[in-house]
């Protein structure tokens, strides 16, 4: 069994539009910094769900990515945390 390509794991997390959109939107609505990890977790969960079917059917050409589900989720969480912070920092609507 060949090892999973680390570049594929990182690119799958970085280029997942669901993670970016959910994390930024939830971070924008967060009124406390403690809610940012919750936003990142929700974004990683939605991103993993949307990535599951194309990976399972090998539609993206990322064959070994299914074996690295925990790595993809963790990377999406970290990326989501960064996007949630950016949403809280620059996307907030002041009343």
pLDDT of the residue at 85: 96
88: left (phi over 0), alpha (psi -120 to 50) or beta: alpha
The tens-digit pLDDT sequence of the chain (95 residues) is 778 788 888 888 888 999 999 999 999 999 899 999 999 999 999 999 988 877 777 776 666 677 788 888 999 999 999 999 999 999 766 65
Q: How far apart are CA 92 and CA 88, in angstroms?
A: 6
Q: Which pTM value belongs to this model?
A: 0.85
Q: How far apart are CA 77 and CA 83, in angstroms?
A: 10
Task: Answer for the pair 72, 15: CB distance below 8 angstroms, yes or no.
Answer: no
Q: How far apart are CA 44 and CA 52, in angstroms?
A: 12
């Amino acid at each position: 069994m060949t090892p999973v390509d680390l570049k594929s794991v990182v690119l799958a997390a970085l280029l997942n539009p669901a993670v970016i959109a959910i994390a930024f939107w939830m971070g924008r609505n967060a009124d406390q910094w403690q809610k940012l990890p919750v936003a990142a977790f929700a974004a990683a969960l939605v991103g993993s769900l949307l990535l599951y079917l194309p990976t399972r059917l090998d539609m993206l050409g990322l064959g070994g990515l299914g074996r690295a589900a925990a790595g993809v989720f963790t990377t999406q969480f970290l990326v989501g945390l960064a996007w949630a912070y950016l949403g809280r920092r620059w996307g907030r609507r002041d009343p």
